[in-house]
Amino acid sequence: MTHEFELPDVGEGVAEGEIVSWLVETGDTVEEDQPVAEVETDKAVVEVPSPVDGAVAERRAEEGEMVPVGNVIIVFDTDGDGTETATKTDETETESTEEASEQASESGRVFAAPSARRLARELGVDIGAVSGSGPGGRVSTTDVREHAEDGDSGAEAESAIQPADETDASTTEAAATESAVSPANEQADREGTLAAPATRKLAEEQEIDIDAVPTEEERDGEPFVTPEQVRAYAERQQAAQAADTRAVQTEQEREERVPYRGIRRTIGQQMEHSKFTAPHVTHHDEVDVTELVETREDLKEAAEERGVSLTYMPFVMKAVVAGLKEHPYLNASLDESAEEIVLKNYYNIGVAVATDAGLMVPVVDNVDRKGMLQLSSEMNELVAKARERSITREEMQGGTFTITNFGAVGGEYATPIINHPESAILGLGEIKEKPRVVDGEVVPRKVMTLSLSIDHRTIDGAVAGAFTNTVKRYLNNPSLLLL
456 is catalytic: yes
For the ranges 17-21, 96-100, 197-201, the lowest mean pLDDT is seen at: 96-100
* Per-residue model confidence (pLDDT) at position 258: 78
In the chain, domain spans: 2-81, 177-253, 262-482
Cα distances (angstroms) measured from residue 449 to each of 36, 281, 464, 477? 46, 17, 15, 16
R_g (Cα) of the chain, nearest Å: 32
Q: Which pLDDT tens digit goes with each residue over 362-415?
A: 999 999 999 999 999 999 999 999 888 888 888 999 999 999 999 888 889 999
Question: Domain 2-81: which CATH class?
Answer: mainly beta
What mean pLDDT value characterizes the chain?
Answer: 82
Q: Which pLDDT tens digit goes with each residue over 205-230?
A: 888 888 889 988 888 788 898 989 99
Would you call 8 helix, strand, or coil by DSSP? coil
Which of 402, 409, 401, 454 is closest to 429 using CA atoms?
A: 409
* Per-residue model confidence (pLDDT) at position 252: 53
pLDDT band at 432; cut points 50, 70, 90: very high
Q: Which pLDDT tens digit goes with each residue over 44-69?
A: 677 889 999 999 999 999 988 888 88
pTM score = 0.56
Cα–Cα distance for residue pair 403/320, rounded to 1 Å: 9
Q: Which residue would you say has higher pLDDT here, 226 or 145?
A: 226
Of 3, 280, 284, 456, catalytic: 456
Is 25 buried (19+), middle (13-18) or exposed (0-12) by CB count in 10 A? exposed
The arithmetic mean of pLDDT across residues 102-126, rounded, is: 60
pLDDT at residue 261 above 80? Answer: no
- To 5 degrees, how large is the angle CA 411–CA 414–CA 420? 130
pLDDT at residue 294 above 90? Answer: yes
Q: Which residues contact 93 (CB under 8 A, 6 or more apart)?
A: 133
Cα–Cα distance for residue pair 46/61, rounded to 1 Å: 16
**Contact indicator for 413, 284 with CB cutoff of 8 Å:** yes
Question: Domain 262-482: which CATH class?
Answer: alpha beta
Would you call 296 helix, strand, or coil by DSSP? helix
Cα–Cα distance for residue pair 173/175, rounded to 1 Å: 5
